[in-house]
Amino acid sequence: MRVGELSKRSGVAVPTIKYYLREGLLPAGVLTSPNQAHYDDEHLRRLRLVRALVDVGGLSIASVREVLVAIDTRDDSLHNKLGAVQEAISQPGAAQLDPLAVADVQAFFARHGQTECIDVTESNVTHMLAAALSSARSVGHDQFRDLLDAYFEGLKIIARADLEYVVRHKSPDDVIEAMVVGTLIGDTVIKALRRLAHAQVSSEVFSDGPAQN
């Protein structure tokens, strides 16, 4: 197919596709003449993935590129890929951390982690966690760390479902893509469902009648 059809089938404007090609988010098509290239279903699939990462995951073009590089790197363990993807999709957050927040994170690791995490800045994920707790402290919510254990409890249930979902997929390519999709789209789904869970739990607890007003 040519770029026009790729555009029609994906719902992405032709100039945008050209832009993605330039930015290396999409591999070039096979040139059949100096100004004719041929794109296949892989391009369509990749294009849709890019849009999902941008629209739902809220990733920048640069982050998308990092994720795609991680996906495409062939000589790398699944573990490393997951790590690379996670780093790419977790933006650093605030620079200066409250040492008390760092201590909270370390205490959490002492309770749960089998890994010996001492430096929270070594990974974007732990840094993100520390930055969030640090922010909570700065607005006077230093008790927020009390929620960590309950959160982790709920998230282990979610993580088990995630894992089960990922291993369903046969080919390594599908597994890594399921991981990316599951992680990023999952984040958005979790955000939304948490709001719904808030509503449900609060009406359960207060039994304030089924939501008129």
Binders of a copy of itself in range 44-83 (CB under 8 A): 45, 48-49, 51-52, 55-56, 58, 77, 79-80, 82
Q: Is 118 in the site for a copy of itself (CB under 8 A)?
A: no
In whole angstroms, the minimum distance from the beta carbon of 185 to DNA comes to: 17
Q: Residues binding DNA: what is the number (CB under 7 A)?
A: 26
In whole angstroms, the minimum distance from the beta carbon of 199 to DNA comes to: 27
207 binds, among DNA, a copy of itself, none (CB under 5 to 8 A by kind): none
31 forms beta bridges with 37
Q: Is 4 in the site for DNA (CB under 7 A)?
A: yes
Among 21, 86, 106, 175, binds a copy of itself (CB under 8 A): 86
38 forms beta bridges with 30
Q: Is 5 in the site for DNA (CB under 7 A)?
A: yes
Contact 134, 171 (CB under 8 A): no
Sequence-ordered list of residues with C-beta below 8 angstroms from that of 183, at least 6 positions apart, any chain: 85, 86, 89, 162
C-alpha to C-alpha distances, 130 to 38, 40, 55, 57, 182, nearest whole angstrom: 48, 44, 27, 22, 24
Cβ distance to a copy of itself smaller for residue 37 or 148 = 148
Instruction: Give the tokens for residue 128.
Output: 């993100």
